[in-house]
Every structure is written in structure tokens, then in C-alpha cells.
Amino acid sequence: MNKGEINDQFDKIVDSVEEIKVPGHWLNRLVKAVKEGRPGRRIGKRAMSEVMEVSKRSWVEAHLKRELTDFQRKAVELLCRGLNIAPYNISTNWEKVDWDWGGGVRFKISHRSLATFDFDELTGLVILAHDQCVRVQIDSVAPRLMSIAMHQRHERDGSMNVRHPTIEEAIASVRARAERTDT
């Protein structure tokens, strides 16, 4: 991809971000400044983070040439934030993502591994999934290919197929189960 193509993609992302209409919102002022080619004041961490999240979702929509549902956008954001990577750097074929996989979304990605600490993508996915009440399932599909499926849950209480615990509840449950099995 040459520099002109990258600039064209960036312009498409900025154009799609502009569709967020909140009168007087700082994001609209930031987009205007970017379009006019002037960076303006230093952008705060929160502001840049929000712009990047909108850009990630917008990039996928621009790439697919279609609009995603609210949950599909949430799944893309969760995947990107959990893996700490932008969508264009995720080794997946976005056209082959199962966007309606049993009422959820399933991504097939080529990823070496997921870990809990030094390369903490697994921890990121787990914590963010619990924060956002999203069930995440990771399966091996083929050598060096895994699927990450996501299903929205809407409650913290109720039957197993409806609820999703907070991270604190999940930690307490795992620790209690481990104590019962100690010998």
C-alpha cells in the first residue's frame, strides 16, 4: 500500500467519524481540525483513545463497504482493545467474519498465542468481556488459526445462557471452586 492509498483510507475514516453529530462536541472540533490539516492543541489520552475506537470501527465498515450493527461494532472494538491492536493489523479476512454466528460474531484470526501477563491479550479480552457483559469463546480452528466468538449478554443474574458475571464475581467463583478441589 503506497502513501496515497493510506491517505485515502485515512480521509475515509475521518469522513465517517464526522457523521457523529453532537453539537459542540470536542470530537467534531478535532475532526474539523484534522480535515483542515491543522493538528491544533495537544490531544489528551482520552480524546485520542475515543478517536481511535471510532476509527477502528469505521475502518472495518469502510473495508466491508457496509454498516455494522451496534453489537458488531462492539465486538470489533472489544477484539481490538483486548488484543491491543488496530483492525487492519489483525490477521483475518474481514469478508469471511461470521457476523451472525448464532446471534453473535465469530472472528477467525491467525494469532500465535494468547497469554495472561507479559503478552497479556488473553487478560485484556477476559477483563473487557466481563466489563461489557459479552461472552467470549476461543477455539482452535486449524494450526495457527483460532476463532474468537462473542455473544452479548444483557443481565448479570439469571440462567446460564442469559447472564454474564462481573470480573469480581468470576474471580470469586474460580477461587471458591479451586478451594473445593484442593487436596
Task: Inform me whether the pLDDT recorded for 34 exceeds 70.
Answer: no
**Strands (E) located in the chain:** 98-101, 104-109, 134-142, 145-152
The fold adopted by the segment(s) 69-183 is Threonyl-tRNA Synthetase; Chain A, domain 2 (3.30.980)
pLDDT at 162: 84
Task: Inform me whether the pLDDT recorded for 171 exceeds 50.
Answer: yes
pLDDT at 40: 47
Domain residue ranges of the chain, discontinuous segments joined by +: 1-67, 69-183
The residue-averaged pLDDT of 160-175 equals 91
**Rounded CA gap, 38 and 45, in Å?**
18
For residue 47, what pLDDT band results from cuts at 50, 70 and 90? low
- Which is more confident, 71 or 41? 71
- Which is more confident, 73 or 1? 73
pTM (two decimals): 0.68
Residue 155 sits at the vertex; the CA angle it makes with 149 and 156, to the nearest 5 degrees, is: 95
- Which is more confident, 109 or 119? 109
pLDDT in tens, 156-165: 888 888 889 9
pLDDT at 86: 85
pLDDT at 95: 95
Task: Report in angstroms the alpha-carbon separations of 157 from 4, 124, 182.
Answer: 51, 23, 28
The residue-averaged pLDDT of 23-31 equals 62
Q: Is the distance from CB of 70 to CB of 78 less than 8 angstroms? A: no
A 10 A CB-CB count for 133 gives 15
Task: Please choose, from the candidates 49, 43, 115, 96, the residue with its C-alpha nearest in 3D space to the C-alpha of residue 77.
Answer: 49
